[in-house]
Chain A
Amino acid sequence: MSRRIWAVLQHRDGKLHRMSWEAVAAAQELAGRLGGRVEAFLLGNGIEALAREVAAHELAAVRVADDPALADYTPGGYVAALAPVLRAEQPDLVLFPHTYQSVEYVARLAQASGAGLLPEAVGFELVDEQLIWKRPIFGGKLHARVRAKGAGPLLVSLQSAAFSADGLRAGAAPVQKLAVEIGADDAGREILGVEQAGGEQVDLTKADVIVAVGRGVGGADKMAPIEELAALLGAELGASRPVIDSGWLPRDRQIGSSGQTVAPKLYLALGISGAIQHLVGMKGSSVIVAVNKDGGAPIFKVANYGVVGDLHEVVPALVQAIGELRS
Chain B
Amino acid sequence: MKIAVCVKQVPDTETRLRVAKDGRWIEEEDQPFVLSENDEYALEEGLQIAERSGGEVIVFSLGPERVREALRKTLALGAARAVLLSHSAFAGGDALATGAALAAAIAREGCELVLTGSQSGDAGWGSTGTVLAGCLGWPHAWLVMGIQLEEGAKSARVTREMESGLNEIFRISLPAVLEIQAGINHPRYASLKGIMAAKKKEILELGPGDLGLEESAVGAAGSRIEIVSVAAPEAGGGAQIFEGDAAAAAKALVEKLHGEARVI
Residue pair B258, A325 in contact (C-beta under 8 Å): yes
Residue in contact with A138 in the complex, picked from B11, B128, B251, B264, CB distance below 8 Å: B11
From B61-69, B134-142, B202-210, the one touching the partner chain is B134-142
Residue in contact with B127 in the complex, picked from A107, A137, A245, CB distance below 8 Å: A107
Name A156-196 residues within 8 Å CB distance of B. 188-196
Residue pair B228, A145 in contact (C-beta under 8 Å): yes
Contact A110/B231 with A306-B242, A318-B254 known, Cβ cut-off 8 Å: no
Residue pair B230, A144 in contact (C-beta under 8 Å): yes
B249: which A residues are within 8 A, CB to CB? 307, 309, 314, 317
In the assembled complex, the Cα of A21 lies from the Cα of B255 at a distance in Å of 41
Residue pair B233, A142 in contact (C-beta under 8 Å): yes
Residue pair B157, A192 in contact (C-beta under 8 Å): yes
Across the interface, name the chain A residue whose C-beta is closest to B162.
A100
B264: which A residues are within 8 A, CB to CB? 233, 266, 322, 325
Residue in contact with B261 in the complex, picked from A194, A304, A309, CB distance below 8 Å: A304
Counting CB contacts under 8 A, is A1 at the interface?
no
Residue pair A245, B183 in contact (C-beta under 8 Å): yes
In the assembled complex, the Cα of A152 lies from the Cα of B224 at a distance in Å of 9
Counting CB contacts under 8 A, is B223 at the interface?
yes
Name A178-216 residues within 8 Å CB distance of B. 188-198, 200, 209
Contact A189/B171 with A103-B126, A242-B182, A307-B249 known, Cβ cut-off 8 Å: yes
Residue pair B126, A76 in contact (C-beta under 8 Å): no
Counting CB contacts under 8 A, is B238 at the interface?
yes
Residue pair A194, B169 in contact (C-beta under 8 Å): yes
Contact A325/B254 with A120-B126, A245-B182, A259-B165 known, Cβ cut-off 8 Å: yes
Contact A306/B166 with A154-B224, A188-B173, A317-B250 known, Cβ cut-off 8 Å: no
Residue pair A306, B232 in contact (C-beta under 8 Å): no
Residue pair A137, B225 in contact (C-beta under 8 Å): no
Residue pair B134, A107 in contact (C-beta under 8 Å): yes
Question: Could you mark each residue 1-42 of chain B with 1 if its beta carbon is under 8 Å from any beta carbon of chain A, else 0?
Answer: 000000000010100110100000010000000000000000
Counting CB contacts under 8 A, is A84 at the interface?
no
Residue pair A265, B263 in contact (C-beta under 8 Å): yes
From B50-58, B80-88, B94-102, the one touching the partner chain is B94-102
Counting CB contacts under 8 A, is A31 at the interface?
no
In the assembled complex, the Cα of A317 lies from the Cα of B122 at a distance in Å of 35
Residue pair A258, B161 in contact (C-beta under 8 Å): yes
Contact A141/B251 with A257-B163, A322-B264 known, Cβ cut-off 8 Å: no
How many B residues, CB 8 Å from partner?
86
Contact A141/B17 with A147-B228, A260-B165, A308-B241 known, Cβ cut-off 8 Å: yes
CB distance from A148 to the nearest CB of B (A): 6
How many A residues, CB 8 Å from partner?
95
A307: which B residues are within 8 A, CB to CB? 241-243, 246, 249-250, 253
Counting CB contacts under 8 A, is B124 at the interface?
yes
In the assembled complex, the Cα of A192 lies from the Cα of B94 at a distance in Å of 34
Counting CB contacts under 8 A, is B236 at the interface?
yes
Counting CB contacts under 8 A, is B109 at the interface?
no
Residue in contact with A146 in the complex, picked from B17, B182, B228, B258, CB distance below 8 Å: B228
Question: Could you mark each residue 205-244 of chain A with 1 if its beta carbon is under 8 Å from any beta carbon of chain B, else 0?
Answer: 0000100000000000000000000000100000001101
Counting CB contacts under 8 A, is B48 at the interface?
no
Question: Could you mark each residue 280-294 of chain A with 1 if its beta carbon is under 8 Å from any beta carbon of chain B, else 0?
Answer: 000000111110001
CB distance from A2 to the nearest CB of B (A): 22
Best-buried of B94, B96, B167, B254 by chain A (most CB within 10 Å): B254
Name A88-121 residues within 8 Å CB distance of B. 99-101, 103-108, 110-112, 115-120
In the assembled complex, the Cα of A291 lies from the Cα of B143 at a distance in Å of 30
Question: Could you mark each residue 244-287 of chain A with 1 if its beta carbon is under 8 Å from any beta carbon of chain B, else 0?
Answer: 11010000001001111100011000000000000000000011
A-B CB contact pairs (8 Å), 6 listed: A100-B143, A265-B263, A301-B239, A307-B249, A317-B247, A324-B251
- Rank and list the top 8 A-B pairs by shortest CB-CB distance, nearest first: A188-B139, A116-B224, A317-B250, A107-B127, A245-B183, A111-B134, A306-B239, A107-B130
Given contacts A111-B134, A257-B163, 7 further A-B contacts (CB under 8 A): A154-B225, A194-B167, A302-B236, A307-B243, A307-B246, A310-B246, A320-B250
